[in-house]
Copies of this chain bind each other. A is one copy, B any other.
Amino acid sequence: MITIVCSTNRNDALSYQISLLYQQVLADLGAESEILNLNDLPADFAFSALYENSGKNEQFNTFSTHMSQAQKYVFIVPEYNGSFPGVLKTFIDGLEYPNTFKNKKCALVGLSSGVQGGGLALSHLTDIFNYCGMNVLALKPKLARIEAHIDGDFQITNNLYMQLLKEQAEKFIEF
């Protein structure tokens, strides 16, 4: 079972559509997955679930337990201000350290409206997950100008993008 993390709390995020699409890519390869959407986090979790309040927010605890029990993660990461969404890092800051990610595995996908595709976002995240003891798959697709490569049904119309996602998913299943 692979946990796909939609790494923003934005409503109607394109990242959620890409999460659904990634789930289908995995299903086509015979791999089961679930989506964890940061949009479902309690609104005040940055204050009510961190530091001395760690463990006190029941709704957040559900997320935290879920993340602790998972073994493999795919993070779908939109680029905000040249890096990952702050809410993703705040979420990580609220999880149990060091056991949540230690000796586990993840794959990263970047997306952006602009031309960078989240290159720096994925570099920063790799630093963070390596620090947490989690191995990161080398292949990290960067889906730049995502709006131009997705159709009205939220299917990716760029063949290279689809090929990269499939290649990543195949490698990740064996990682």
Contacts and interface: CB of A to CB of B under 8 A. Distances in A.
A124 B126 contact: no
Given A120-B119, A137-B135, A43 B48 contact: yes
A129 B133 contact: no
A55 interface: no
B135 A138 contact: yes
A83 B134 CA distance: 15
Interface of A: 9-11, 43-48, 50-52, 80-93, 97, 103, 115-117, 119-120, 123-124, 126-140, 142, 144, 171, 175
30 contacts: A9-B47, A9-B50, A11-B51, A43-B46, A43-B47, A80-B89, A80-B93, A81-B92, A82-B127, A82-B131, A83-B128, A85-B90, A85-B93, A86-B86, A86-B87, A86-B93, A89-B90, A115-B115, A116-B142, A120-B120, A120-B123, A123-B127, A126-B126, A129-B138, A130-B138, A130-B140, A133-B138, A134-B138, A135-B135, A135-B138
